[in-house]
Amino acid sequence: RSSQTCHVTYSQACSVWGQSPVVSVRPRTAAVKLGETVSFTCRVTSGSQPLQLEWKRTNNQPLGGFCYADLATLMWFQSVFVDAEPPKVRVTPSGPLSVRAGESVTLECRVTGKPRPSISWTKQGGEAELVSTTTDTTASLQVTVLSAEDAGIFVCRAQSREGLAEGRVELRLEGGASQSVALPFTILCNWVYSLSHYYFPLFFPGSPTPGISWSKLRAPLPWQHKVNGGILTLNNVGRQDSGQYICNATSALGFSEAYVQLEVDSPPYTTTLTEETVARPGDALRLQCLAHGSHPIRFRWTRVGGASMPPGAETTKDGLLKIAQLKVTDSGTYKCVATNHVGSSEALTKVTVRGASNSGKT
């Protein structure tokens, strides 16, 4: 028998035989310890006195303990036992653990108890709850030790209304408080554009100071590149220099990488599939305009000299000009202009409509 406290709410029915008396039950609820005695009183507050008072459970099961009854009062005494269990904690690995600088370790806290306890991890000397991966019965905490400040005593706490339990494990840094590490390196890579040059600056703390090298994913670095103090500089960049650049920081304690994406924007370079087209009246015309450059690219067809476009002329999003039936007056020079957020360029094509139509008309 345990001395822990449990909360028990009773909803037994007090049945009365007689002429509809009014009854009350006191107390409605009770908080008792395991093994203690609890009593409830069913009292007639008004109406006719009943011949008998009887206690029942809501499921009509017999009551334990013993009863006392008279015409107005029934008292029931019973020792109360509940299925409760205080929290228990087991932390693995048990520790103390010696961890090398830059090494990570996972601490697992496994708990039992009824009702199910809440689980949390903290570091001794701090109040903030640490971020952990939890299930109903476990909480896993991953700790990376970069310096002596990251070591210490970690506490797993399990708590329910039945009590509180704690488990502790100590992490120690190999080599003592003077040992430090630059891993994982804090590498901040971004590009800064100025006067046709691209700079990729780096910032990395730690001791020993890491060595820095640059590479390009699936391609060599541009031949005009320079690396000085961890800064990569690209001169006279073009679209061919677009891609992902990789910074690698290495020391005697390990290595780390960071990535930066470079996209070099360029204005469109515009061409047409044909420079000159000869057709007969009534023919359908299709002129394709092509452009290379940074997307999105917009296309627009016009006629040189200010003449209006033929009725029914249609331009698609990919630069195709369509005229369903040509006329002799549709002859002339047509201009395609391709535009993006960097600039624009144009291409010309000449259209000549002559001779008899397909239907025999001129």
pLDDT digits (tens, 9 = 90+) for 115-139: 889 999 999 988 888 888 888 899 9
* 85-107 pLDDT tens trace: 899 999 999 878 888 877 889 99
19 — pLDDT class (breaks 50, 70, 90):
low
Residue 180 has pLDDT above 70, yes or no: no
176, 149 in Cβ contact below 8 A? no
Lowest mean pLDDT among 195-204, 230-239, 249-258: 195-204
What single string gives the DSSP state of each residue in 152-195? EEEEEEEEETTEEEEEEEEEEETT-TT-B---S-------EEET
Residue 349 has pLDDT above 90, yes or no: yes
Nearest to 137, CA basis, from 90, 177, 194: 90
Could you tell me where in the chain the CATH 2.60.40.10 domains are found? Answer: 85-173, 192-262, 269-353
Domain 85-173 in CATH 2.60.40.10? The answer is: yes
Residue 53 CA to residue 240 CA, distance in Å, equals 96
Q: What is the pTM of this model?
A: 0.39
238 — pLDDT class (breaks 50, 70, 90):
confident
Q: Tell me which CATH code domain 192-262 carries.
A: 2.60.40.10
Structure tokens at 162: 């039945």
Average confidence (pLDDT) over 327-349: 94
Q: Tell me which CATH code domain 269-353 carries.
A: 2.60.40.10
Q: What is the pLDDT of residue 176?
A: 55
Nearest to 275, CA basis, from 353, 350, 352: 350
Residue 231 DSSP code: E
Residue 162 has pLDDT above 70, yes or no: yes
270, 290 in Cβ contact below 8 A? yes
Residue 15: count of CB within 10 angstroms of its CB: 13
Q: What is the pLDDT of residue 69?
A: 43
362 — pLDDT class (breaks 50, 70, 90):
very low
Residue 327 has pLDDT above 80, yes or no: yes
Residue 42 CA to residue 15 CA, distance in Å, equals 10
